Amino acid sequence: MSEPAKEADPKGSPEADAAKPRRGWLRRCALWLGVPLVVLALVGAVGLFSILGKPVSAPGWLRDEVSTRINSGLTGPQLRFGDVAFVLERDWVPRLVMRNLMISDARGERLAILSDVDGTVALRPLLRGEIRPATIRLSGATLRLRRSEDGNIGLALGDSPETVEDAPSLAGLIQEVDRFLLRPDFAALKRVEAENLTVQYEDARARRNWTVDGGRIELSRERKRLQLRGDFVLLGNRGYATTLEMNYSGQIGETAAEFGVSFDDMPARDMAGQTPALAFLDALDAPMSGALRASVMEDGRLGPLNATLQIGAGAVQPTEAARPIPFSRARTYLTFDPLTQTMQVSEAFVESKWVTARVEGKAFLIGLDEGWPTELWTQFRVSELSANPAALYAEPVSVEGATMDAKLRLDPFELTLGEMSFSDQGQRLILTGRAGAGPEGWSVALDGRMDGLTPERMLQLWPESVKAPTRNWIRDNVRGAKMSDIQLALRSSPKSRPDLFLGFDFEELETRFIKDVPVIKGAAGHGSLYDKRFVLSADRGHVTAAQGGKVDIAGTSFIVTDTSQQQAPAEVRLSTSSTVTAALSLLDSGPFRFLQKAGQPVTLADGRAEVQGLLNFRLKQKVAPGDVTYDIRATARDVRSETLVPGRVLASPRLAVTAKDGELSIAGDGRIGAVPASGAWSTRIGKDADGSSVLNGTVELSERFADEFNIGLPPGSISGNGQGDLTIRFRKGEPGKFALRSDLAGLGLSLPPLGWALSQSGRGALEVLGSLGSPPEINQLSLNAAGLQAEGSIGLRPDGGLERARFSRVRVGSWLDAPVDLIGRGGNAAPAVQVRGGMIDMRQTSLGGSGESGQSSGQTGPLSLSLDRLQISDGIALTNFQAELDMSKGADGRFSGQVNGGARVTGVVLPHQGRSAFRILSQDAGSVMKSAGLLKNARDGEMDLTLFPATAKGSYNGKLTVEQMRLKDAPALAALFNTLSVVGLLEQLGGEGIHFGQVEADFQLTPTQVILERGSAVGASMGISMDGFYDLGSGQMNMQGVFSPLYLVNAVGGLFTRKGEGLIGFNYELTGPASDPRVTVNPLSLLTPGMFRELFRRPPPKVQR
């Protein structure tokens, strides 16, 4: 095992022994050098005193040594300088002065050049050979402060793109400063001053750059307390300069710190990008002054930020395209808590020409997790609010207060109102919507609602110069109302004009839409203002007309079509229900005066009326009648009028009333008295109205029409129902002029005195012109139907009924062409008929019997005939025919006339089997025969001719008896005598004539011929029989018979032959023209006894009686 080690004796060690002579040497050197050093010290002291406060340039080796010493303590940047000087201050503080200092990076790339840097050096380190700055003062430096998009802060020197320090936040930057100051090289540093600084701030987050010249920064350090102050002046392209003052206070080595910034006339947008709390200021274009105070907590988080902001005149303009919203000034006091991301606004005040408001509340910043807010959710209370946009009011309009919940999106700028509630005179206005500023300008969508509003308050809120005509109309015409459920909407986009909508309900409205028109009362409904269109629509309400009672106006609307115009165009859309009188009274009020212009009373008709219509006019003080255009359509029900058709009651279940383009019309179906009718009455009501009117329509033509208008036709004269087109024209102060036209379809007519009738299936043409009055007048009547043509006029009795119908010409087929009068006889008596000239053709009819149109019917009055001509057959007529006939049971009476204008005859007419039979008498039968063209040279004799109606139309069965007639120069007999060579008779015929004691004939007279069934003429000298045919038109005859000479003797055989034939006679035939007949005689007949004579002649004619 080893031995214990002995304790070493320091005094006796060899090292100790060797040190003793060394320490002695040092003492001896010190003593040897001491005296000279003291001398040198005294000499140095004297030299130092001589250079106090004066710079002493360091020699090159010393400059290099200083540079080496300084750079050895730096990591990264390196310093190089052109000159180094020392200055010993009076207080014995050494100061180092470096000129043309160049700072370069580790690669030698220049970062910055400083013209002057000086500072004091700590003595103790200096005595140890260490250069430790105590103060630093520099001038002319250029600093570049950079903030990246993610919020990192970097510091660069000069123009270098590289930063010398980087920190993720302000707290990180403080830590970097602390680490810098805690380095041994800067342990003695107490103060740093910089002046004439150029600071370039590049903010990538705000996308803006700032450059500050002439800046000043002062950093002071007292133990661990660190304070920083600085001030800057920023000149830009604005008309004002921005000044900034900043301060910082903290403990070295601790993160917690306080800092603040005060500024004057800084653009709001410049400040908005520096702190999230003020990001909303980016929408403002205005100078701003104020102060910010904030802190950094120990954990590195930002503490609350307090801001006081005074904003000068400017505008809200989020984008270049957005139209600026100007304001005069604003201020706000706010506190932002980053921990809760909440901003408390103790006051925000804004004043402008448009609005002045004071608000308080809070806002929540949304999106800070990403480093920068994207939205602000706000809750504000408005304690003061007054508005006077564009100086529209004489005094600003104030409301009691408001609350607001809103969301503000920052990029793109958009303010969304969740709800903004205004309190005003006990009512609430709630607004929602949004307002955004895009690349093309503002877009606004705003909706609002309000519980209620009085018209008085509405006028207070409605500027006098905005849509003044509409406002003035409401001011002057709305006397009272309650407004509720008010709706507001505003839409605006950059490329279109704003759309404004205001809607509201109203009740208890009292107003008038035109001056001098009755007031609307108790109205309730809805109103709206959209764009330039203002509408009031009534769901209920009434107008009390001057006559007729209340008018219900439910459904009526008042519309201003363009509220931007002076004397704005307006329209009233009428929808009313009332009595007809009330509706007409309303149309006759104010500037309308429709009924007065038409010369009609408002009591024109009774009934109920429903009116729909449109009135157009312009809003002005005085609305003249010509200023109103109208299109009114009404439905009148259960109408009764004694005015529209004077003297008659017009009734209708439904009439349509229109007033348009200066015309008032009433149309529909109804009855005039008991007569169904349909028509339209119209009159002018414009400035050219003259009181005239016209009624156009259709009316039933029937027996009740004749009864209603008391025309005086006998019962049965009209059957069935027809229709006539009726026009009545009225002129003021004159009876109405009417015109009635009909095709008579469906109407049966009968005129027994004329033997004429129209069946219901027939057609014709009727035209009646006349005038209404008491009694009515029929000035012209024209009828063309079933062969009847009549033109004339009708006069009625004052008490109704026919007085006289005077027809200038009546044509019935081809049998009547004469002027005819119908003379009323009162009551239901059939009118008397007077035929005043003209012609009746008996070939086509029979007096008192049937004409070619059919059978007569009904009562018949007396018939007075004074004819120019009564045509019996083709060759026989009675001229100057006079007759007075009782037609009650058929034609019965006496007549007289001239045969073909010659011999006068008289006679009687009697009814016979529904027709008329005639007996014609004459004392000069020869003249009658001569006038009739039968025997030109017959004379003397008494004639008795009886005509009975035959079966065929226009045919008569006749019997002729002539006593004591003498015949002379009869061509037919002369030809017969000449043929028989009866010289004596021939001479007798040519002389005094042959005397016939008796002439008899049975015949049938047709319109074209005489059919002689049996004829005979006997005298002392001869007898002759005849039968056959005589054509009245051509004068052709076809007769046969027997000639018996010496009839006085020969007549002995007449017992066995026909009358006028003797025992001996000749059979003959007469054919050809009566003026020159061809005679054929059968000589063998002379040898044939009379009873066998029929063997040599044809049978006599047979007729249908």
- 630-644 pLDDT, tens digit per residue, is 888 888 899 898 877
Q: Which secondary-structure segment (H or E) carries 971?
A: helix 971-980
pLDDT, average across residues 748-763: 82
Residue 729 is predicted with a pLDDT of 87
Give me the helix-helix angle, 971-980 and 983-990, nearest 10°.
160
pLDDT, average across residues 734-762: 85
Collapsing DSSP to helix, strand or coil, 62 comes out as helix
CB atoms within 10 A of CB 35: 9
Q: Rounded distance, CA 914 to CA 689, Å?
A: 60
Strands laid side by side in the 747-751 sheet: 718-720, 747-751, 756-758
Q: Is the dihedral of CA 173, 175, 181, 185 positive or negative?
A: negative
More confident residue, 10 or 356: 356
Cβ proximity of 879 and 868 under 8 Å: yes
391: left (phi over 0), alpha (psi -120 to 50) or beta: left
The string of pLDDT tens digits covering residues 689-713 is 777 888 888 999 988 888 877 766 6
Q: Rounded distance, CA 489 to CA 504, Å?
A: 12
The one-letter code for the residue type at 41 is A
Residue 1070 is predicted with a pLDDT of 84
281 closest CA partner among 244, 309, 242, 322 = 309
More confident residue, 24 or 312: 312
* β strands within 297-426, DSSP E: 305-311, 314-316, 325-327, 329-337, 342-351, 355-366, 375-387, 397-399, 401-409, 414-424
Partner residues linked to 414 by β-bridges: 409, 436
504 closest CA partner among 520, 522, 521, 481 = 481
Residue 1079 is predicted with a pLDDT of 78
More confident residue, 361 or 463: 361
pLDDT band, very low/low/confident/very high, at 1009 (cuts 50, 70, 90): confident
pLDDT band, very low/low/confident/very high, at 21 (cuts 50, 70, 90): very low
Structure tokens at 1014: 């049996």
More confident residue, 1047 or 620: 620
Collapsing DSSP to helix, strand or coil, 130 comes out as coil
The string of pLDDT tens digits covering residues 283-311 is 999 999 999 999 888 887 888 999 999 99
Question: For the chain, first and last CA: distance in Å?
Answer: 204
The domains of the chain are located at: 81-255, 956-1096
Residue 350 is predicted with a pLDDT of 94
More confident residue, 742 or 591: 742
pLDDT, average across residues 971-997: 55
Residue with tokens 């006038």: 931
More confident residue, 854 or 164: 164
Q: Rounded distance, CA 763 to CA 761, Å?
A: 7
Residues 6 or more apart whose CB falls under 8 angstroms from that of 502 comprise 486, 487, 488, 489, 527, 528, 529, 530
pLDDT band, very low/low/confident/very high, at 1056 (cuts 50, 70, 90): low
Judged against a pLDDT cut of 50, whether residue 505 lies above it is answered with yes
The string of pLDDT tens digits covering residues 317-353 is 999 999 898 999 999 999 999 889 999 999 999 998 8
What is the residue-averaged pLDDT of the chain? 79
Residue 286 is predicted with a pLDDT of 92
pLDDT, average across residues 242-264: 88
The string of pLDDT tens digits covering residues 925-965 is 888 888 877 777 777 889 898 988 888 877 889 999 989 88
Collapsing DSSP to helix, strand or coil, 1098 comes out as coil
200 closest CA partner among 251, 234, 172 = 234
Q: Rounded distance, CA 1006 to CA 952, Å?
A: 8
Judged against a pLDDT cut of 60, whether residue 27 lies above it is answered with no
